[in-house]
Amino acid sequence: MLAPKRIVHKKVHKPSTRHGTLQRGSTLEVGTIGLKAITASWLTSRQIEAARMSISRRTKGGVVHTRVFPSQPVTAKGLNMPMGKGVGAIDYFMFPVKPGRIIFEVSGIEDESIVREAFRIAAHKLPFRCKIISKKTTLFS
């Protein structure tokens, strides 16, 4: 699982807004084809790992670049715990995704149909709607 090596605060503020599109992280940087978020959601480290593994299984020989890292802790108290007595333990780490964020990129594969099929399967493992973009479509549109 992806997790930061160390954190300063156990409890952090939740993102105040989940609407609006991004300028940073919305273009392809290292790969030729990418998976882009259309709607907003929280992305956990388990979801990132499940999608990454399904992409890497289907794209043999290519390089999968993950553009997000779950660095925000989410805390939860145990079941049947009374109210009060402070914050619970860290349950998991998440990354707040806004529309327009590129999640994965793939480079080193010439056959685009293989990568599109891998991204289609990986998109079912993510909690938001996605679209597949490539350098060819972003240059001319």
What is the C-alpha separation between 66 and 106, in angstroms, rounded?
9
Instruction: Give tens-digit pLDDT for 47-65.
Output: 999 999 999 999 988 899 9
Residue 5 tokens read as: 């090596």
Strands 102-107, 89-97: pairing is: unpaired
The yes or no reply on domain 33-78+88-140 and CATH 3.40.50.10490 is no
Token representation of residue 50: 């499940």
Q: What is the pLDDT of residues 72-94, one digit of tens each?
A: 998 888 888 888 888 888 899 99
The CB density around residue 42, as the number of other CB atoms within 10 Å, is 18
pTM of the entire predicted model: 0.85
The residue ranges of every structural domain in the chain are: 33-78+88-140
> In this predicted model, what pLDDT tens digit does every residue of 114-135 receive, in sequence order?
999 999 999 999 999 999 999 8
